Structure 1
Amino acid sequence: MGVVHRDLKPENVLLDYKFNVKLIDFGLSNIFAKGETLSTACGSPCYAAPEMLTGQPYDPLKVDLWSAGVVLYAMCFGYLPFDNPDSSELYRIIREGVYEVPSHASEALTDLLSKIL
């Protein structure tokens, strides 16, 4: 629909009475045209895509997809794939894509996460 959220995280994902997903808090969102890149770094660092953290121009759809992957990981395992109290270390592990999938994860989930993150 030409809108990038840029702050997807569990607190911004709700379910209605029929269990339909509803996104809220579009305060950091932006409108974009197909093929356009954006460059503003925003959102919560633990959910931010690497290109957003490094200040590179980014594909709006891909940064929201990355954040959705982090949310999926947190929903499945109960903790974040990228987390560190030291901001510079957190940014490093996000840029490098360093995360571990627990051994009890299915092969399909592991494959999906590897394609999203």
Structure 2
Amino acid sequence: QIRREICTMKLIKHPNVVRLHEVMGSKARIFIVLEYITGGELFDTIYTNGRLKEEEARKYFQQLINAVDYCHSRGVYHRDLKLENLLLDAAGNLKVSDFGLSALTEQVKADGLLHTTCGTPNYVAPEVILFCLS
């Protein structure tokens, strides 16, 4: 899973995605140097301050859509988008993080779908849950 995340992050260089700076390793350990994001999780911001103002929510949503569109154009599918994986930098810009469950285009089957279920249960789309139960 760590190797997949490293390979994925090497493909992505976008202002709204946490940047991978360097990877170092030894026989026993892997060290990943990521962009330092000081603003914390969007989840914590909403929990602490309550509902976002419409203008602020719109800004974050646009930044999220830009990041997701870029990732998809590079053949990367995050598969675990949630408030805890959306970080805010010092300037108040959104950064997508945690590509540990991501998939690449070569994992897509002939029908155009990924046939593995993953992600955080509270954020999984209802149709995915229904498919798993059938």
Q: TM-score, normalised by structure 1?
A: 0.41
Task: Compare relative contact order (CA 8 Å, sep 6+) and give the higher one, 1 or 2.
Answer: 2
Q: TM-score, normalised by structure 2?
A: 0.36
